A and B are shown apart, each in its own frame.
Chain A
Amino acid sequence: MSEQPNEREIDRSKMEVTDEIAIHISDMNKWFGNFHVLRDINLEVKRGERIVVCGPSGSGKSTLIRCINRLEEHQKGNITVDGTELTTDLKNIDKIRSEVGMVFQHFNLFPHLTTLENCTLAPIWVRETPQKEAEEIAMEMLKKVKIPEQAHKYPGQLSGGQQQRVAIARSLCMRPRIMLFDEPTSALDPEMIKEVLDTMIELAEEGMTMICVTHEMGFARQVANRVIFMDEGQIVEQNEPVEFFNNPKSDRTKLFLSQILGH
């Protein structure tokens, strides 16, 4: 909930937004039974964008990004990811899921597998990568998130921050073109938040297309090129971070920002 002080300068050389459309969502609606969680969502994400989604609890942030890789099914409207439309066609769903990485609030590592096995599982079974090659990729990714020395430990033996970094590495091993983050730091103790945010910042610097549901406004200021505010299942306001924080337009955004930033 706080602004993380970050001493490091962000390297913006590769952080560029292209014209290519990565995700296209138009008039998307979703209900849980009778409850209308997402209402007329329209969103276009370009390749290279770093989007932060925020909003009060229960506003539908998680549901929105979970629709993008079909962990939830939308009932109206279209979602197109990398040119593939999400329909009931299982082939399309599998294709999109292997292109889109997701990081969860509670890590969801596989506790019966070692860190390395967590990372090699999907490449081996989904991409049919030979085991040795998959292990090389996994070690590369574990180096990137700075825990190669934990490769042979089980998730239960790692700290929360380490687990979340393994979860990020596990996603990266599939070489995704888009990464979704659902409150990746909210289950972490304060001293571990920074190590996870640093990893995410590095990803952004490499030009990864990212959608992050997070309340880390420091992170939003530093790397996001767009902040989206949701309330009651609708996108209420979106803007570039400086404008969004300094000059919010809607009252709901102002209220939310005053609560979360504590002034």
Chain B
Amino acid sequence: MLAIRPRLASRLAAWVALSPALAVLVVVYIGCTTWTIWISMTASRMLPSSNFVGLRQYEALFANERWTVSVSNLVIFGTMFMIASLALGFLLAVAIDQRVRAENLLRSIFLYPFSMSFVVTGLVWQWVLNPTFGIERIGKNLGFADFKFDWIVRQDMVIYCLVFAAVWHAAGLVMAIMLAGLRGIDEDIWKAARVDGLPTWRVYVSIVVPMMGASFATASVLMATSVVRLYDLSVAMTNGGPGIASEVPAKFVMDHLFERQNIGLATAAATSMLITVAAVVGPFLYWQSRRRAAAGAH
């Protein structure tokens, strides 16, 4: 008995200490999420209403061309951005890992874009890619009269401009994560591989990359969150244009929430995004916990 009492007391203290965080979690996250899902099933427009309409907002949402363009843009952007930033970040890290002289300088240069916000990044690349005073202009000034680089104003190409800017922004961060992973690899493994006569590229491909699972996972999660959140880059760089060619889901939600005053449609869009993320993250977390349990059993 005597032994249990202090434990009860300390447990109580722990709960008291945790309670503010718990309150925030319950009210802000769970409360707001529930409210959002509820509103998405009402006929709310400018103001929230409690007129239940079932999935009518979702029918309207998926019939909305702007939304379907946003979703397909996000899929294209997400795939290309993830692959390109992981690949480029890894290659930069490998390049720096060759014990180059100016390692610190290069690392800072590569990491520098990440210190800028997406808004600044978007504005900078908007100027650089602008046909009248960006790269195209420079090409023309250099004497290539029919040089053309107008992707940012072409509906079929503008999304790649977003990918380009976002990769430029994030590759440095991926590099830093990968470099930490590379440096964590036992020197003796490299020595053993050299005695085994393995070419350097082979060591990277067959031995080092498989050992860097944690680094790739960390970088992927960070990149994936910035894919889902993608908003400010699109606003600053193209404002969704030309036309609706570079619209993205988060921008759809924000616009309908604050400009078009269609809360019902906005919350339906937000809920769709939430469900998609949950559908991806849920099985992943489950798989990880299974794997951890399996590893623990050994």
**Bound pair (A, B):** no
